[in-house]
Structure 1
Amino acid sequence: MVWPSDAGPARRGWQHLLLARRSISDPSDLAYFAVHAREGTALSAIVNVAGMRWGVEDCFETAKSDCGLGHYEVRHWEPWHRHIALDPAAFAFLSITATRTARLKRSDGPAATDLSSQPP
């Protein structure tokens, strides 16, 4: 469904769309997405991009619980800025470390137990 936008004049070659998703488990549960895409963009591409949203939301929820992303009191700009900059870095470090550890545990052979034999 295409609709006019209050965001400003229409740009040539772009369109605003409304994407609706129905839950498989509960058909009465609908989710809506406002989409801004180039004209002629395939529906499958729009659906794939909309589906990426849950991965991003999951990362934010994990960062909130594991790194304290949502635990701050805003009193001054500088401490808030440090906190917001440090939390994603800590979350990235923890994610990479967990992924590498899981790969080492899955692999068979000496690489799983002896890291000194691997080249730097």
Structure 2
Amino acid sequence: MFSRFETAIKLTALCLILGLCGWTWFQSQKISSLKAENQAQAQTIQQQENANKSLSLALQQERDAVIEQQERNDEIERIATENAESVKTIIKTQPCAHTRLPQSVLDRLYK
């Protein structure tokens, strides 16, 4: 009877050891899987950060280009206004100042 009890204990211990080995192997596989997933996510995050940096740089370049274009437009508008004022002044000082201009010309000068 003692030998049956001993055999049962040995079988139980063997099952327990094999079960723990299986559980350890499963956990090891799970850890490896999680590490691989973590690595993939880290790469994705890095790629997104790089894309964000590129987009931020492009956005800043666009802003700079818009500001530069606005400055050019303002300068062109200022020069056009000065030229229109010069034409008005010249016309007023010339004898033709008392001659009636066509309405289309007047409209153009008032703009």
Could you say which structure has the greater relative contact order, defined with CA pairs below 8 angstroms and 6 or more residues apart? 2
More helix by share: 2
